[in-house]
A and B are shown apart, each in its own frame.
Chain A
Amino acid sequence: MPEIIDQIFVVIKHWFMGYVPGGIQPLASAVLSVVPVMIVFPVLFAITTVLERKGLGRMQNRYGPNRAGWFGILQPMADGVKSLTKEDIVPRTADQLVHFLAPVMLVIASFLVYAVLPIGRNMVIANLNAGVLFFFAIGSMVELSVFMAGWSSHSKYSLLGAMRAIAQMISYEMPLVLASVVVIMAAGSLSTVTIVNMQAGYTWIWPHWYVFTPWGFTGFVIFMIAATAESNRCPFDMPEGESEIIAGYYIEYSGFKFALFFLGEYLGMFATSAMAITLFLGGWAAPFSFLTWIPSYVWFFAKLLAIIFAFIWVRGTLPRLRMDQLMNFAWKFMLPLSLINIVGAGIWHFMPAGFGRWGVVSLLVALSCVLLSRGLRRNKWFHVRTYRFAT
């Protein structure tokens, strides 16, 4: 019985496919896989907006929105109606085609990465051989859409915000990818389904998730910090800081396109969280072996909601990082730490199982963390190079 509830969506899909004529079966199969994802994640986005505003409100000792329905639960409906009916103002000197295409490209890229995320047992849209590489490749298209948005608005604030946003996203993309390389090394494959299947076992009641190893824990922390920076969330939201640069690269957008930017940003946040769950937290696997009767997709969404709650919590707690602090942190701390993490994972693989490898790898990672943070404190400037030209 638990197996049937676990596989209920797969069973429904196979039953439906039985009624589809043979010629269009691949197309119908693809559509049936894609449509639930395209419905569920925007609904999750709507729920997250109201959860975030109420959560932030409670952390700041105030109520969140509570007028739009019972405890403010209909606030996303109100926001949706507002953004759809607002006038779509485009600046006269803006580049019309690029201005239109920027949010479209952002949303396309954000939706496309859900194709490789396994939401439950046997529930992945495309089991690509190079799934993780596909995820990072499509994720890097977001930066181009940010540039398009900032440049096409033909405004100094939006261009400045776009430059900052792109610099931040490119800087944090390296620790993001390197933190996932550790997991790829341990699992031996780039396919997300294989990575989750490798974490689905249990020794007594403890799961085999990669986050419960020293290199996996470090990798998880690096990945989450880099994911926060990639989504331009607080404390890394200098590009969209509301008190400094108004709204950054989407100042000149109004109405539905603004809502599309929000959608794209939140979907990117969900996708990166889902990738973190797949790589480190065991995907759809239950945390203890006596809890496997709960369906796999319930565990996936429970973990996703926990990570979203952590994002909201961090947003309400930490102040914003300045731009140079942010860049120093990425290049001088996160990148060396992620490289040392890879070395640690390699040592883990070749040492025999037991307390020896736990101690060695933990010591390596902790020591490098402490030393790198010490190095970050001292501001060292490079020496000035002087040229003497002939004129």
Chain B
Amino acid sequence: MKFLRYEMTTAKAPLLLGVKAEVVFGTLLVARNRAVRLACVLALALGALSSVREAERLPGAHQPLAAFLIVGTLAAVAGSRLFAPGAALASSRRVVTIWWAVPVGRLAGALLVILPVAAVAVIAMELADPNPILLGLSMATLAAAVASLSLSLAPTVGSSTACAMTLATIWAGAIPTTAVQALSEGSPAVRFAVLLLWHTLPLPWRANRLLELHAPLDALVLLTWIAVGVLTIGWAASQPSLLHRKSREPA
């Protein structure tokens, strides 16, 4: 009788239950992945290294940019796993729920894993910034924006390529502005392209500026990237052809 009772149930899940399932799924996808775990271990090692060398340097020698680089790196790796071609992407379509529930839920799940790790590493580093709440908010916003960039690339280019592209973006974002200007002094077209990317991508310098100046534009750019990620996945999940890409990457 139990069989008959449940097998004919057609009730749709309430949205909250579906989002919760996605949060848990996102957490598991990220926490069980070797690449993400390795990145977390390296971030913690960096924090530990900084803390044991504390005596050799003045407190506050590390700038917040270091924290943004750490959280950006973790977000790039974690985000690439959330909609990797294969089961992660296929399941986003098969569960059939409202289009934004899957990306938002999985993104939140990924942040639940990487933010505590980044926070521990950053606390160990004793940054110069005195306001931990603002620093935490800026880190969370950057992490969500970077993970969104990474997850939105993954369905079309594959998770490894998406991760590599996002990592390159994050690390390029640590280049000083003067160096960027010097690099782009050649042709006007190169200069235009470099400046466009420099000002539109979710780079660590923007999170750093958000922390220092509290400029709404910086928050807006980062939030726009989160929206882009959610919209892209909403679209990708409606494209059946993308589901047939076979994952060639180990779990």
A and B bound?
no
**A residues near B, CB below 8 A?**
none
